[in-house]
Each structure stands twice: as C-alpha cells, then as structure tokens.
Amino acid sequence: MRVLGVDPGLTRCGLGVVDAQAARRITLVDVSVARSRPDDDVPARLAAIADAVEEVLDEHRPEAVALERVFAQHNVSTVMGTAQISGVVMLAAQRRGLPVALYTPSEVKAAVTGSGTAGKQQVGAMVARLLGLAEMPKPADAADALAIAIAHAWRGGAAPTSSRASTEAQRRWVEAERAARRRG
C-alpha cells in the first residue's frame, strides 16, 4: 500500500510517500517539502503548493492520502493558511478518486513513537529508523509528512500483528500501541 502523507502548511508543506508491505515493513518512496514565498499573495502561494502536491500525486500514484488534521485552536496566525492548504490537498485527492484520512498530531506521534506527546526529535528519529535511513529527514515538515504516511499505512494497511513484527522498532511499536490503547 502506497501512501502520501502531507504536513500541510502555506510556507512549507511536507510531502512524504511510503510503501507499506506485510509485517509493518515500510520503505521510503519520496520525500520533499513544497514551499511558497511569504511575499506572494495567498492565491499564488496556494497554487505553488498545489502544483507540487499534484506533481507528487501524478508521479508516485499513491493509493491514499493522509493529512494532519488542523484545529482552529492552533496558532491563529498560521491556522488559516494551513486550513486553506488542507482544502486544496483534499480536493486534489478527491478529484483523483483517492481516499483521504485525517490524523491528529498526537495520533501520529503515538503511531510512530508509542507516545502521543513525543517531541519532534523523537518522531524524526523513529521515522529514520523505520525507513532504514542513516539520518533524520529534514526539515521537520519532511519527517512529519513521513510520520503521517506511516501512521496511515499501519492503520489502513497491514493490521498490526505482533507475531509478525520483524524488527526491534516494529516490535516496540506494537507494544507501544497496545499500551496506548490500554491508557486510552
């Protein structure tokens, strides 16, 4: 199952594509950060990001799109741009017939690190480990987009089965997920 994860933003929008195989194996397909110039007006900025998103959709043909859910309570100065980008990304997915899933930041952190309150550093480190990367993807928007894609691939793709967990990270994830369920 191929998933595009999107960390929506008007200035920087993280775009991460991963493939999920059986037994929680995840491989990196593509990762990038679409940018727009803060000096441009909003419609031009939306188009710059939309063009980049559509390029990734057309080139890598994911089967699903996962997005960070935006809350109105977040940083007021950036939330409107983030919501606008989310709308544009959801529309692009819908028009390609792709299902869209939304995850809260804590759902993503819990899926990838086992803790819904993990810091950016920890999320980046786990994303690198799960994808077998030598270094943490940078900037944080790139790592976050991959984390969102991984969270969805694991939830929507192969169901978690501890008996098939084949790496240390995967085993720990299954345990953390169980613990999170007990706490939740």
What residues numbered 92-131 form the site for a second copy, per CB under 8 A? Answer: 93-95, 100
Q: 3-class DSSP state for residue 13?
A: strand
Neighbours of 142 (CB within 10 A): 22
Q: Which is nearer to a second copy, 37 or 95 (CB)?
A: 95
Q: Using the CB atoms, write b or e for 47-65: b if 16+ within 10 Å.
A: ebbbebbbebbeeeebebb
Stretch that binds a second copy, among 22-30, 72-80, 129-137, 167-175 (CB under 8 A): 72-80
> What type of residue is 67?
L
**Beta pairing class for 100-103 and 64-68:** parallel
Neighbours of 184 (CB within 10 A): 7
Query: Which residue in 58, 87, 106, 166 binds a second copy (CB under 8 A)?
Result: 87
Q: Could you tell me the smallest distance in angstroms from the CB atom of residue 107 to a second copy?
A: 17
Query: Which residue in 18, 29, 34, 88 binds a second copy (CB under 8 A)?
Result: 88
Stretch that binds a second copy, among 42-50, 141-149, 154-162, 163-171 (CB under 8 A): 42-50
- Does 36 sit near a second copy (CB under 8 A)? no
CB 50 within 8 A of CB 43: no
Residues lying near a second copy in the complex (CB under 8 A): 41-44, 46-47, 50, 70-73, 76, 79-80, 83-88, 90-91, 93-95, 100
Active-site positions read 7, 68, 141
